Amino acid sequence: MKTVLVSAVALIDIDGRVLLAQRPAGKSMAGLWEFPGGKVEPGETPEHALIRELREELGIDTWASCLAPLTFASHSYDNFHLLMPLFVCRKWNGTPQPKEGQNLKWVRAKDLREYPMPAADLPLIPILRDWL
């Protein structure tokens, strides 16, 4: 089974809310909510992949020094195994905007379970909730 490395981030605003993005129609797992991020390309670190993805998907800029590793997910789907480090970020330039047709929502950590998420993301919720 192929292992896919995906980097994700919990963007935390000044009010302690977490940004979720809803996967748009036409993508796998469309309609589910997730932490922003994406695949780590060959030659990229997980941090640099996030910096690139945040610029492409949300139009914001951040720096590797602002990405704090929190935990990771390791989950087998039918066709691949996902390994996903989750970083926390509280500092970026710009206002997150949906650049790829996704919906965005700022959510309190205690309310994250109310949003349907991919199976790999679910174990991250209690860790993030306890950390916040």
C-alpha to C-alpha distance for 103 and 27, rounded to whole angstroms: 13
pLDDT in tens, 55-103: 999 999 999 999 999 999 999 999 999 999 999 999 999 999 999 889 9
- What are the φ and ψ backbone dihedral angles of 83, each rounded to 5 degrees? -120, 120
- Map out the domains of the chain as residue ranges: 2-131
Topology given in CATH for the domain delimited by 2-131: Nucleoside Triphosphate Pyrophosphohydrolase (3.90.79)
- Read off the pTM: 0.93
pLDDT in tens, 12-32: 999 999 999 999 888 888 899
Tokens of 13: 């605003």
